[in-house]
Amino acid sequence: MTCIRRPIAAAMLTVMTALTFAPGVRAACWSAAERQAIAVRVLQSEITVGALTCGIKHAYAAFVNQQETQLRRHGGTLSDYYTSAYGDNAGQRKLDALVTRLANEASQRKTRWPSGYCDFVFALTHRAAATPPERLAEFASAQPPGRRASTLAVCD
């Protein structure tokens, strides 16, 4: 499984580096909760794209059903971050752009990695669904797509 994870981990470096250097009032640093929220969003995007492109909608539904409260909580944290950093309208546009970029990059990985991507995302989806909700952020942060969130600058 390690060799399957490397292409995704490498691709996520670009996304997370871009997040680090985003301009704005607070965009230079992220709280621990915000870093967890971005890791969960990256995981959610990967699983969503995988469900659509690999035909694992039942596994995706199990993930969402198990983790719905945590997905909403972390989504709210990201929304609050972008609103605080950029204001209501611009913050929502930037958050929407981030979600779109994450989905596009997951889709590109699927295209570039046709023989192993679906196996990877299927296993990832099942493990994410089986994770206790209170540990979802920890799980997301430890996965190849979300690991880079741990390197974002932390606010004091």
Which pLDDT tens digits describe the chain residue by residue (156 residues)? Answer: 333 434 443 334 344 444 433 434 445 678 889 989 999 999 999 999 999 999 999 999 999 999 999 999 999 999 999 999 999 999 999 999 999 988 888 888 888 887 888 999 999 999 999 999 999 999 999 987 666 666 666 665
Distance CA(94)–CA(115), nearest Å, equals 33
pTM of the predicted structure, to 2 decimals: 0.78
Q: Where are the domains of the chain?
A: 2-151
